[in-house]
């Protein structure tokens, strides 16, 4: 291994100058399909431990890359060894004893002619006393510190050696591991895997050369056994070409896999819904506003997709208040013009109901029937709604996830619109798509997803590579940005006065109750108390309360009263976070804003500033603030653009959190970092397109190597 790694280094360097472009992307020497050898011959307990590390095949061991390296290639004289880093020294044991002060410990002194070093072991076996007997030659690895009694190492790694035992030729990899599986054992397993696995390349010179990427084999051998005196910084920060090769491969596998799924879904047929225009023109004519340029552009893309004989798979992104709903309604009409049904699904009852009212108001006098379908309907109403949907009388069904329950049967569903898609799980979306699937024809409904959680470009390029994306990147004209105020809880009184002034002047306000993640019951209790308290504070105002536990009729009644102006101050839990649209509400107070996440704050704040009036969002916070909370509040205070907020969110939380439900089924990145490896991501995307077009064998080999069976799980 060690000899090999030096050869690897030479090849790595050679790889950078030797550029003989070949036309094929697949390395001609590579086998077309790389099977994943299993981990045969290991004990069950080892297999269990490996599984904890995410290692299921021999090849997973190849990709089990070191966290860092110990440099045991240099032996220091004790008096010259640097402090502040781990070092290797060697010496003869002068004395070894169990001491009882300050507490029981094994203390051993070694000397090498240059100096004396104390080794301390707080946990030890009595057998070590014998092992470390005076006169024994020891090689120890650890960090030297100045102790009260001179230089010492606490719990060093040590080995009994003869005087002439050679030092390591490569840096010693330190792997992520788990209890019961030592570094030595893991190293041996990995060494064997490196020898047994097919490490041939899935990328040809043509791809590698311009990106200055080494061969796969050279990259993994190098990372598992880098030669001494390599720049550790480059390795640690994963900027070394060997690391870049691994990250590129990972990103490429993700791109390939997602594009393959995109292509597979596209292979299913879908009804081609031609834009006939009668209904859409009629709706546009009666709107009190003009669509923005961005809305027009997104709509044109959607119209085009719907007219194709394969299913649309489009995500419509737009910041809160950018006007996605009307775009959805216009898309729905193109479907209705063709005599087909539309399902519009929202994650909360409040939002679904609001969509229902909007669609009904827009479409009723165009003769388009809109039906409301939710889990909490009375059984007679529900039967009626279901019958209408099944008979094809209801052209548009709006509802919550009740829409994709088994009892719901559509007559001819051709378009599924999913609002706030990140709130839904993969399975729920799949279920809705199956509603429209006609098994004998293989047809599927078109799918349009909407999201107000703007996703940074790199994240969209990566995790949404299996969708087409339209972006509404401007707000309707005449909106004044929401002014954000940070106010300490101690100044609550001033906030109360502001609400009173605003409501007396004819505006409306939201009061968002604190989020209590640990307990829903406590959250509810707090909401009720806040409501009662504010009712007492504002005897002259109509105060309402809405929370997740309210019966849906009650919820609807409160929301309508607020919409109509009968309620002036609405006390709410975060159920109003998504979608709610009441343009006359211009003031929002968020209690304990320091507990909320960035995107949640941005969504909440988006509930105001929806009309022409000047709006304010007051973030009440409780001192003392943690550093993280302070940073979040600063970001939300300074940024109004949802994309900027999302970029910060990605930086603070990473993609897993940001993507929410979507992450299940999508391969998360282990090595690449979307904030830093943008160039590799762009390159991987371009390479994936070429490979899919021209080199299907290389695609299969690469996906099999990186994703193996996992690829199969990515279905939605």
The continuous run of DSSP H or E covering 614 comes out as: none
Q: Which does 322 bind (CB under 5 to 8 A by kind): Mg ion, ligand ADP, none?
A: ligand ADP
DSSP code at position 443: B
Cα distances (Å, whole numbers) of residue 246 to 28, 242, 250, 612: 20, 7, 6, 52
Q: Which does 453 bind (CB under 5 to 8 A by kind): Mg ion, ligand ADP, none?
A: none
- Looking at the Cβ atoms of 91 and 318, the one nearer to ligand ADP is 318
Separation of alpha carbons 650 and 457, rounded Å: 11
The token duo for 19 is 């550029």
Q: Which x/- pattern over 562-581 shows residues binding ligand ADP (rule: CB under 6 A)?
A: -----------------x-x
The token duo for 566 is 């009968």
CB of 617 to ligand ADP, least distance (A): 15
The token duo for 324 is 């996605």
The continuous run of DSSP H or E covering 314 comes out as: strand 313-318
- Looking at the Cβ atoms of 8 and 582, the one nearer to ligand ADP is 582
292 binds ligand ADP (CB under 6 A): yes
423 binds ligand ADP (CB under 6 A): no
- Looking at the Cβ atoms of 323 and 544, the one nearer to ligand ADP is 323
Q: Which x/- pattern over 116-155 shows residues binding ligand ADP (rule: CB under 6 A)?
A: ----------------------------------------
Q: Which x/- pattern over 314-333 shows residues binding Mg ion (rule: CB under 5 A)?
A: --------------------
Among 12, 110, 189, 291, binds ligand ADP (CB under 6 A): 291
Q: Which does 476 bind (CB under 5 to 8 A by kind): ligand ADP, Mg ion, none?
A: ligand ADP
Among 173, 227, 275, 318, binds ligand ADP (CB under 6 A): 318
DSSP code at position 597: -
- Looking at the Cβ atoms of 125 and 289, the one nearer to ligand ADP is 289
CB within 8 A of 546, min separation 6: which ones?
350, 555, 558, 559, 562, 570, 571, 572, 573, 575, 576
The token duo for 151 is 């230089």
- Looking at the Cβ atoms of 292 and 470, the one nearer to ligand ADP is 292
- Using the contact rule CB under 6 A, the part of the chain among 15-23, 248-256, 272-280, 283-291 near ligand ADP is 283-291
Contacts 24+ apart (CB under 8 A), 152-157: 152/117, 152/118, 152/119, 152/120, 153/117, 153/118, 153/119, 153/120, 154/120, 154/122, 155/120, 155/121, 155/122, 155/123, 156/119
**Parallel, antiparallel, or unpaired for β 468-472 and 313-318?**
parallel
- Using the contact rule CB under 6 A, the part of the chain among 100-108, 170-178, 314-322, 493-501 near ligand ADP is 314-322
CB of 521 to ligand ADP, least distance (A): 31
579 binds Mg ion (CB under 5 A): yes
CB of 610 to ligand ADP, least distance (A): 5
Separation of alpha carbons 593 and 493, rounded Å: 17
284 binds ligand ADP (CB under 6 A): no
Separation of alpha carbons 293 and 47, rounded Å: 58
CB of 506 to ligand ADP, least distance (A): 18
- Looking at the Cβ atoms of 205 and 319, the one nearer to ligand ADP is 319
CB of 320 to Mg ion, least distance (A): 7
CB of 420 to ligand ADP, least distance (A): 9
The angle subtended at Cα 97 by Cα 92 and Cα 98, nearest 5°, is 145
CB of 207 to ligand ADP, least distance (A): 40
Separation of alpha carbons 270 and 433, rounded Å: 11
- Looking at the Cβ atoms of 281 and 634, the one nearer to ligand ADP is 281
Among 326, 455, 546, 680, binds ligand ADP (CB under 6 A): 326
348 binds ligand ADP (CB under 6 A): no
Contact present, 187 and 175 (Cβ < 8 Å): yes
- Looking at the Cβ atoms of 230 and 316, the one nearer to ligand ADP is 316
The token duo for 611 is 């009309």
Separation of alpha carbons 293 and 533, rounded Å: 46
Give the residue from 344, 466, 327 showing the smallest Cα distance to 413: 344
User: Quick check: helix, strand or coil at residue 633?
Assistant: helix
Relative orientation angle of helices 349-363 and 278-286, to the nearest 10 degrees: 100
Give the interface with ligand ADP as residue ranges (CB under 6 A).
Answer: 289-292, 295, 318, 320-326, 452, 476, 579, 581, 583, 610
């Amino acid at each position: 291994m060690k000899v090999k790694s030096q050869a690897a280094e030479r090849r790595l360097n050679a790889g950078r100058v030797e550029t003989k472009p070949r036309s094929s992307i697949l390395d001609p020497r590579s086998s077309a399909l790389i099977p994943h050898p299993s981990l045969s011959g290991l004990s069950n307990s080892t297999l269990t431990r490996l599984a904890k590390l995410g290692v299921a095949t021999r090849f997973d061991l190849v990709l089990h890359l070191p966290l860092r390296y110990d440099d045991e290639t240099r032996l220091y004289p004790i008096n010259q060894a640097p402090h502040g880093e781990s070092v290797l020294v060697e010496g003869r044991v002068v004395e070894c004893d169990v001491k009882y002060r300050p507490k029981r410990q094994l203390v051993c002194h070694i000397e090498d002619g240059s100096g004396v070093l104390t080794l301390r072991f707080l946990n030890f076996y009595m057998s070590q006393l014998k092992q470390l007997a005076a006169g024994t030659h020891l090689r120890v690895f650890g960090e030297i510190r100045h102790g009260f009694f001179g230089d010492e190492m606490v719990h060093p790694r040590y080995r009994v050696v003869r005087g002439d035992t050679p030092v390591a030729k490569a840096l010693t990899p330190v792997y992520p591991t788990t209890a019961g599986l030592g570094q030595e054992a893991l190293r041996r397993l990995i060494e064997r895997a490196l020898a047994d696995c097919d490490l041939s390349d899935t990328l040809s010179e043509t791809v590698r050369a311009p990106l200055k990427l080494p061969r796969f084999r050279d990259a993994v051998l190098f990372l598992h056994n880098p030669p001494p005196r390599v720049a550790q910084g480059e390795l640690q920060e994963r900027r070394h070409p060997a690391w870049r090769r691994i990250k590129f491969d990972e990103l490429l596998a993700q791109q390939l896999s997602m594009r393959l799924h995109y292509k597979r879904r596209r292979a299913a047929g879908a009804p081609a819904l031609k834009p006939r225009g009668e209904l859409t023109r009629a709706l546009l004519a009666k709107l009190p506003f003009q669509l923005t340029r961005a809305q027009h552009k997104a709509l044109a893309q959607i119209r085009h997709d719907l007219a194709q004989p394969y299913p649309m798979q489009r995500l419509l992104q737009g910041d809160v208040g950018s006007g996605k709903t009307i775009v959805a309604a216009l898309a729905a009409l193109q479907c209705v013009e063709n005599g087909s049904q539309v399902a519009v699904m929202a994650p909360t009852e409040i939002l679904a109901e609001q969509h229902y009212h909007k669609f009904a108001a827009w479409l009723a006098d165009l003769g388009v029937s809109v039906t409301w379908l939710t889990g909490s309907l009375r059984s007679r109403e529900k039967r009626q709604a279901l019958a209408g949907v099944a008979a094809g009388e209801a052209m548009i069904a709006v509802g919550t996830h009740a829409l994709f329950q088994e009892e719901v049967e559509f007559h001819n569903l051709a378009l599924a619109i999913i609002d706030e898609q990140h709130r839904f799980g993969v399975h729920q979306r799949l279920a809705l798509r199956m509603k429209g699937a006609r098994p004998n024809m293989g047809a599927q409904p078109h799918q349009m997803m909407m999201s107000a959680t703007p996703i940074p470009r790199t994240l969209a390029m990566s995790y949404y590579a299996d969708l087409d994306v339209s972006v509404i990147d401007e707000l309707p004209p005449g909106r004044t940005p929401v002014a954000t105020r940070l106010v300490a809880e101690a100044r609550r009184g001033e906030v109360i006065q502001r609400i009173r002034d605003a409501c007396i002047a004819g505006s409306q306000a939201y009061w968002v109750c604190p989020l209590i993640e640990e307990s829903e019951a406590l959250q509810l209790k707090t909401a009720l108390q806040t409501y009662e308290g504010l009712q007492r504070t504002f005897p002259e105002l109509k105060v309402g309360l809405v929370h997740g536990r309210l019966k849906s009729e009650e919820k609807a009644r409160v929301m309508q009263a607020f919409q109509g102006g009968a309620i002036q101050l609405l006390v709410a839990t975060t159920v109003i976070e998504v979608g709610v649209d009441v343009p006359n509400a211009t003031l929002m107070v968020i209690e304990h804003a320091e507990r909320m996440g960035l995107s949640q704050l941005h969504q909440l704040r988006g509930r105001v500033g929806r009309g022409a009036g000047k709006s304010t969002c007051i973030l009440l916070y409780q001192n003392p603030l943690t550093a993280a909370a302070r940073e979040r509040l600063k970001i939300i205070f300074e940024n109004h653009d949802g994309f900027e907020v999302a970029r910060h969110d990605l930086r603070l939380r990473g993609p897993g959190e940001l993507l929410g439900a979507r992450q299940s089924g999508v391969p998360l990145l282990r090595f690449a970092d979307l904030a830093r490896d943008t160039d590799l991501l762009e390159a991987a995307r371009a390479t994936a397109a070429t490979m899919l077009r021209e080199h299907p064998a290389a695609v299969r080999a690469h996906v099999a190597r990186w994703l193996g069976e996992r690829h199969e799980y990515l279905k939605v």
